[in-house]
Structure formats: C-alpha cells, structure tokens
Amino acid sequence: MSNSSLAASSHTSGLLGQIWGSIRTTLRLMSYNRVGFIGFIMVLLIVGLSFIGPEFIPLDTKTKVDQIYLPPSWEHPFGTDHQGRDIFSQIVHGGKDVIYVGVVAAVLSTLIAVTFGTLSGFSGGWVDTVIMTITDIVLTIPRFPLLAVLAAFVTLNNLAFLGLLLGALSWPTLLRAVRSQALSLKERDFVEAARALDLGTSHIIFREIVPNMMTYIVISFTLSMTAAVYAQVGLVFLGLVPISASNWGVMINLAWVRGAIFYKDSLWYIMAPVLAIALFQLSVITLTRSLELVFNPRLRSGE
C-alpha cells in the first residue's frame, strides 16, 4: 500500500474516532438527566418505528367484516378498526408523515427566527425597526384560521409544502425571544472584542452570538416541532388536508367521521393515534432536559 493510501486511511480512521468520541461524550452528558435520557430513547424508538418499521410490518388494508372493532390481542395489539383492519400497522405507518412535516416546519421557523432575530437585536436602528414591524404584523395573524382559509384555495396535499407553510407562519414568537437574547449578548465583552477586531456582522452573529444561545434555540426547535405536529393533525382531522395515506391525523379523522365514538368497543381505534401523538410529544419535550446539559456547560458544574 502506498504512503498516500496509508495517510488517507489514517486520516479517515482519525476522523471516525473523533466522531465516535463526540457521540459518546454527548450520550454521557445526556444520561446525567434520567428523565431526559428516557425521552431521548423514546424519540429514537418512535422515529425508528415510524421510518424503519414499515419495512417489516406491512400495512393492513384488507377489509374483514367479521373482525370489526376487536379488542387488543396478540394478533392485533391495538385491536381493529371499523373495517376490521389492524390498528397497530396503521400506527406504525402513520408516524412518518407527521414527524416529517413537524421537522420541516421546525427547521424553517427556527432558521428564520434565529437569523433575523439575532440580526435585529445586534444591528438595531432601522434594521431592527423593519424586522420587528414585519414580525408584529405576522404575529397578529391567527395562524390556524389562516391555514383553514388557505386550504380552500391551495391544495395542501404535499407534505414538504405543508411543512414549509407551517414553518413560515410559526417564527414570530421565537424571533422576539431570540432578539431579546441578542440584545443582552451584544453587550458582552467577547462581542465587543469581535467588533474591535472588525470581524464582520455575519461572523459575530453566527460565530459569537448564536453559539451562546444554542440551549434556547434547541429547546425552541423542539417546541416548534410539537406545535407543527398539533397544527398538522388538527388540519387533517378537520379534513382540510387531503392526505390519503395512513397518518395519525387521518386515523382520528376516520374514527370521527365513521362514528367510532358511538361504538363501545372502538376505544382503542380512537385512543391509539391520540396516545401515539401524545407519547411522541412528551418524549420530545422531556428530551430537552438532556439537551440542556449538552449545550449549557453551567448546568454540568456538579458532574
């Protein structure tokens, strides 16, 4: 083997070692908060079940009139629905779209809020005035009624577009909070030193100020994702988003329109998607306890 090949192999091994070391350190820090670490494990399980589970658990689409609203059993862990189909397979196949839309919306809203909120707080003057005026205007618009009206003119059947639309309407609250953080941080000594060195606005914002807000940003990201999940499920439940695929929101909608509430044996058909959404939301929120330890060294002073 040539020297160049050996050098490349050594560099790759060193890089993989650094990545693995960072992962181990992060997991160790997250494990200090047991509740947060349990939330982390639950998020991994739910995401894994939603994205990998469908490869191993086929969706039950066959109507079986002799098995309508069966109670939970070994064959059907969550019972069956109004057509005798297995509810558990619908839960497995129904989480992917919900999580995808939530992540897309959270990424967009967080990106807008962090970029322009930090720029507004750091720059001040007319830049701050323009950004905050636009923010206040968007903040006064009732998001859910607006989405309901838009659904009458725009077909919201594209998941990426739905996520982007939810994200485009969800940033004002976070932007105002980020601006407040930036107003405080720009008076710190390290920002003043960066100004004195004339490092530029983009460097100061993204290299000096934003890293010191990471704890707040990550927590806000998770809260934005949960809000987007609720908004999406609400739209689907009301029939405003014509998503035909299996989806937790679709399951709740079908349970409602098919009159499941009037059948005594339909409890699991109604509660299964509700519990799936609630468990995912709870896992994400409790995960923030461990993320605080990762991004805020002051909380680890007693380790």
Residue 122 in domain: yes
Residue 1 in domain: no
Of the ranges 20-24, 225-229, 294-298, which one carries the lowest mean pLDDT score?
294-298
Confidence of residue 13 (pLDDT cuts 50, 70, 90): low
Distance CA 37, CA 50 (A): 20
Q: What pLDDT score does 9 carry?
A: 55
SS3 state at 250: helix
Average pLDDT of the chain? 81
Write the pLDDT tens digit of every residue in 230-243.
888 888 777 777 66
pLDDT at 167 over 70: yes
Distance CA 57, CA 93 (A): 8
Write the pLDDT tens digit of every residue in 120-147.
888 888 888 999 999 988 888 888 788 8
Residue 3 in domain: no
Q: What are the start-end ranges of the H helices in 63-188?
A: 87-123, 125-139, 143-153, 159-168, 172-185
- Which residues does 156 contact at the CB level (< 8 Å), separation at least 6? 147, 150, 162, 165, 235, 240, 241, 242
Q: Which two tokens stand for residue 107?
A: 């990424």
Q: What pLDDT score does 133 carry?
A: 92
pTM of the complete model: 0.81
Residue 153 in domain: yes
- Which residues does 97 contact at the CB level (< 8 Å), separation at least 6? 159, 243, 245, 247
pLDDT at 56 over 70: yes
Q: In the predicted model, what is the mean pLDDT of residues 197-221?
A: 79
Write the pLDDT tens digit of every residue in 73-118.
888 888 888 888 888 888 998 888 888 888 999 999 999 988 898 8
Q: In the predicted model, what is the mean pLDDT of residues 48-60?
A: 89
Q: In the predicted model, what is the mean pLDDT of residues 138-161?
A: 80
Residue 104 in domain: yes
Which of 269, 270, 149, 291 minimizes the C-alpha distance to 225? 291
Q: What pLDDT score does 202 carry?
A: 79
Distance CA 163, CA 150 (A): 14
Q: What pLDDT score does 42 carry?
A: 92
Residue 288 in domain: yes
Domain around 131 = 13-300
Write the pLDDT tens digit of every residue in 253-301.
777 777 777 777 777 888 888 899 889 989 988 888 887 777 765 655 5
Residue 269 in domain: yes
The domain spanning residue 191 has which CATH number? 1.10.3720.10
Q: What pLDDT score does 180 carry?
A: 86
What letter does residue 299 receive in the DSSP assignment?
G
For residues 32 and 164, the model is more confident at 164
Residue 7 in domain: no
For residues 129 and 8, the model is more confident at 129
Residue 186 identity (one-letter amino acid):
K
* Count of the separate structural domains present in the chain: 1
Q: What pLDDT score does 139 carry?
A: 87
